[in-house]
Structure 1
Amino acid sequence: MSIYVDYAATTPVDKEILKSMLDNADKFGNPSSIHRIGKEGKAFYEKSRKNAAELIEAKPDEIVFTGSATEANNMVIRGIVSYYERPHIITTSVEHASVKETYQAMEDYADVTYLDVNEHGQISIEDLQDALSERTKLVSIIMVNNETGTIQPMEEIRKAVSESNALLHVDAVQAFRQLKISTKSLGCDFLTLSGHKLHAPKGIGLLFIKQNTHLNRIMTGGSQEKERRAGTENTLYAHAMSLAMTQAEEKREENTKVLKALKEKLISELQTQEVPFEINGSTAFQTNHIVNLYFPWTTSEYLLTAMDMAGIYASGGSACNAGTVVPSHVIQAMYSEDRARRSIRFSFSKELTEDDMTFIAEKLKSIYTKLKDQGFI
């Protein structure tokens, strides 16, 4: 038996989406070509753009398809930093690596403020307000954290940023399947999404750029995407992204119920099995598709290996740090390095069952008992 509980890292491609990609593979024309085949490809591509825009309450010309959300985040940050002379920019200590590491790389060219979070993983609005100044050009916020599922107080963030001259960049990669996303409600100037978190293939992302918002290009060599991103358009993957967004929108309520039941079942079964654990953060401020658990009796490295041998596939944090023993910077920011080294992320999808959660709890109990009997606890 094998159970995959790492859906926050990536999702399998939906079979209906894959079938539609194959059915439309004949629309292969380069959208920049002026002949009929190229025009067919262009129409196919723009249909995907229009649909994606509608789903986040944006205009089609505000949508740029990218190769990933990582690329989209880099486009925003590097595009803003290169436009201004040593701007002040604000982010949080719990951003995804594509934001966190890009800001760190920009510290020679910009003044960066990293906002701390509380034990729930949320920033303080007062800290944000205190950090904002006339020099602040950009604020980057991860709407739903990829390691804990923590939801930031976006309405309060929107209000604070709107009272300044700064632009608001929202990383909504983990949010779209869980929450209604509206660029208008968020009041954002930039928003990023990823296809492979929505059962589309890897290699497609989306960047919303609010109309009349300037962003320096970081990819040159062509006039595609209204000269915002050079490179021949990936028409088939944009189609898949559009379908995945539609599917997520239509099934969000149903999906939420399933994920809530799975998360609650895993927690209750661990309690029944008397496996010592604590929840990182508070479920009151989290989405249902992620639960990050602290196991004080072992290390995440050991536990991941033991679970893998038992056919359970989870993670110790962001997939971008997979294959390393580096403790989660998110859990460190919320608690401590020691806790980060003893924490595991479980992330769910509708493909899972409550019986799967029981199986995971039983295996964790078996691992715990074995360590205890051998005197390691």
Structure 2
Amino acid sequence: MKRIYFDHSATTPVDREVAELMLEYMTDKFGNPSSVHSFGRETRKAVEEAREKVAALINATPKEIFFTSGGTEGDNLALKGVAFANRKKGNHIITTAIEHHAILHTCEYLEKHGFTVTYLPVDENAMIRMEDLKNAITDQTILISVMFANNEVGTIQPIKEIGQLAKDKGIYFHTDAVQAVGSCPIDVKELNIDLLTMAGHKFYASKGVGALYIRRGVKIEEIQHGGGHERNLRAGTENVPGIVGLGKAAEIANRDMEKKNAYIKGLRDKVIATIMEKIPHVKLNGHPDLRLPGNVNFSFLYIEGESLLLNLDMKGIAASSGSACTSGSLDPSHVLLAMGLVHEVAHGSLRVTLGRGNTEEDINYFLEILPEIVEKLRSMSPLYGSAAEFKPSNPCSSCHHH
């Protein structure tokens, strides 16, 4: 049976070039970068070269890049580190209702420690309104954290305007760019970003490695204590193979992004157009234009997303419903609810995220079997044929962050 991977927002395969380089630093060049002998100096040099490559991908300086274990740690360090270092200045943080749980749960933690958090609502395309952001700012606001692009529905936020507003008000701006790095051109200087989180496994590096960009001059304190690695901000022996791989993946992303995006967008647009044309009672979730190149998210009325996934899986297709970290839970996605979808509709969502390894042939196979699966599942649904439609609910009543 064919096996097709359409879940690149959950994780990507490691690039062969990246894997080969990593292997070298696991077997032959295995020194601890803190050691002063030649084995240590060799890996220290490799770590610093990787830092330069990661910095180049987002137009930062190498000294502004701090290696982490991935997106979750980066988000925790950014939010807690800035909050605790600046609490004399204020105790208010602004974020959105559709952030990844690495942000939402960190904010909940900070609320237990004397901080207040505003969770901005989003419109039906999962876009924040700049007006809401302006109105949320108080003289206590020390940090704004808005994701670059949503992991579920792919919507890209107005990052430049947010960065400008934050800069004008003297407030730090962090963006969780885990889904965007490697897929969106990012210039932290031009966008006025103070802190940015990335994770290697979302752009063909390995799991367990990432980086946090911290603009020079940002007041932040460490949350992990030990031997003073990463310029005293992130203790722990460096994951050298992971870091070297991250550097290589950043270099490849920088080189191939334009070509890769054009290719993936072409496939994505074909999927969206065909589903809209061939399958009735569907709704495209996320912004129609301002979305990640590989993201497709649809709600299929009268169907459980779970059964859709299982049926696709039986045909060899891997996709998802909601985000990977919560796909084991049966609650509908907090993102879709915040966008105003009713529970039943949110439950019937399918996320297909394409990558550079996908082919036209993969797409054709998927588009051939999806309508059949939808038809089969609907024929078993007691609701099919009733008058239910896509009615928006009040997002605030159904979103657990209000």
The reply to whether TM is greater than 0.5 is yes
CA drift of 1:272 comes to 4.4
Task: Tell me, yes or no, if the aligned pair for 2:308 and 2:374 is still in contact at 8 Å.
Answer: no
The aligned amino acid for 2:102 is: S
Distance (whole Å) between structure 2 residues aligned to residue 362 and residue 297 of structure 1: 20
Alignment of 1:48-67 (within 5 A): 48-67=50-69
Task: State the secondary structure of the residue aligned to 1:138.
Answer: strand
1:83-102 CA distance string (max 9 Å, x none): 21561000011111111111
1:256 alignment partner in structure 2: 261
Task: State the secondary structure of the residue aligned to 1:361.
Answer: helix
1:14 alignment partner in structure 2: 15
CA drift of 1:373 comes to 4.3
The aligned amino acid for 1:212 is: G
2:92 alignment partner in structure 1: 88
2:333 corresponds to which of 328, 332, 341? 328
Distance (whole Å) between structure 2 residues aligned to residue 360 and residue 297 of structure 1: 20
Distance (whole Å) between structure 2 residues aligned to residue 366 and residue 14 of structure 1: 34
CA drift of 1:269 comes to 2.5
Alignment of 1:112-261 (within 5 A): 112-261=117-266
**Segment drifting more, 70-79 vs 30-39:** 30-39
1:99 alignment partner in structure 2: 103
CA drift of 1:343 comes to 0.8
CA drift of 1:59 comes to 1.5
1:90-129 CA distance string (max 9 Å, x none): 0011111111111112112200000010011110101111
The aligned amino acid for 2:8 is: Y
CA drift of 1:374 comes to 4.5
Task: Tell me, yes or no, if the aligned pair for 1:196 and 1:202 is still in contact at 8 Å.
Answer: yes
1:282 corresponds to which of 284, 287, 292? 287
Task: State the secondary structure of the residue aligned to 2:111.
Answer: coil
2:49 corresponds to which of 39, 47, 50? 47
Task: Tell me, yes or no, if the aligned pair for 2:141 and 2:171 is still in contact at 8 Å.
Answer: yes
Distance (whole Å) between structure 1 residues aligned to residue 215 and residue 276 of structure 2: 47
Task: Tell me, yes or no, if the aligned pair for 1:224 and 1:230 is still in contact at 8 Å.
Answer: yes
The aligned amino acid for 1:142 is: M
1:246-301 CA distance string (max 9 Å, x none): 11111111111111111112123324433531101232121221111010020111
The aligned amino acid for 2:62 is: P
CA drift of 1:354 comes to 2.3
Measured at CA, do residues 30 and 165 of structure 1 come closer, stay the same or move farther in structure 2, by a change above 3 Å? same
The answer as to 2:76 corresponding to 1:77 is: no
TM-score between the two structures when normalised by the length of structure 1: 0.96
The aligned amino acid for 2:233 is: R
Q: How many positions carry a matched residue from both structures? A: 377
Distance (whole Å) between structure 1 residues aligned to residue 7 and residue 14 of structure 2: 14
Measured at CA, do residues 373 and 299 of structure 1 come closer, stay the same or move farther in structure 2, by a change above 3 Å? closer
1:342 alignment partner in structure 2: 348
TM-score between the two structures when normalised by the length of structure 2: 0.90
Task: State the secondary structure of the residue aligned to 1:185.
Answer: coil
**Segment drifting more, 319-328 vs 273-282:** 273-282
Distance (whole Å) between structure 2 residues aligned to residue 128 and residue 176 of structure 1: 24
Distance (whole Å) between structure 1 residues aligned to residue 277 and residue 127 of structure 2: 30
Task: Tell me, yes or no, if the aligned pair for 2:7 and 2:354 is still in contact at 8 Å.
Answer: yes
The aligned amino acid for 1:70 is: T
1:364 corresponds to which of 360, 370, 375? 370
1:32-57 CA distance string (max 9 Å, x none): 11222212221111111122112221
Task: State the secondary structure of the residue aligned to 1:368.
Answer: helix
The aligned amino acid for 1:91 is: T
Distance (whole Å) between structure 1 residues aligned to residue 376 and residue 130 of structure 2: 45
The aligned amino acid for 1:94 is: I
Distance (whole Å) between structure 1 residues aligned to residue 216 and residue 242 of structure 2: 24
The aligned amino acid for 1:87 is: N
1:31 alignment partner in structure 2: 33
Distance (whole Å) between structure 2 residues aligned to residue 10 and residue 16 of structure 1: 17
Measured at CA, do residues 270 and 54 of structure 1 come closer, stay the same or move farther in structure 2, by a change above 3 Å? closer
Distance (whole Å) between structure 2 residues aligned to residue 287 and residue 227 of structure 1: 35
Task: Tell me, yes or no, if the aligned pair for 2:77 and 2:222 is still in contact at 8 Å.
Answer: yes
Task: Supply the RMSD in Å over aligned alpha carbons.
Answer: 1.5
Measured at CA, do residues 372 and 133 of structure 1 come closer, stay the same or move farther in structure 2, by a change above 3 Å? closer
**Segment drifting more, 181-190 vs 281-290:** 281-290
CA drift of 1:165 comes to 2.3
2:387 alignment partner in structure 1: none
The aligned amino acid for 1:48 is: A
Task: Tell me, yes or no, if the aligned pair for 2:303 and 2:381 is still in contact at 8 Å.
Answer: no
Task: Tell me, yes or no, if the aligned pair for 1:128 and 1:160 is still in contact at 8 Å.
Answer: no
Distance (whole Å) between structure 2 residues aligned to residue 184 and residue 213 of structure 1: 14
Work out the percentage of aligned pairs sharing the same amino acid: 38
Distance (whole Å) between structure 1 residues aligned to residue 377 and residue 349 of structure 2: 17
Distance (whole Å) between structure 2 residues aligned to residue 340 and residue 350 of structure 1: 28
The aligned amino acid for 1:93 is: A
Distance (whole Å) between structure 1 residues aligned to residue 192 and residue 153 of structure 2: 24
Task: Tell me, yes or no, if the aligned pair for 2:93 and 2:115 is still in contact at 8 Å.
Answer: yes
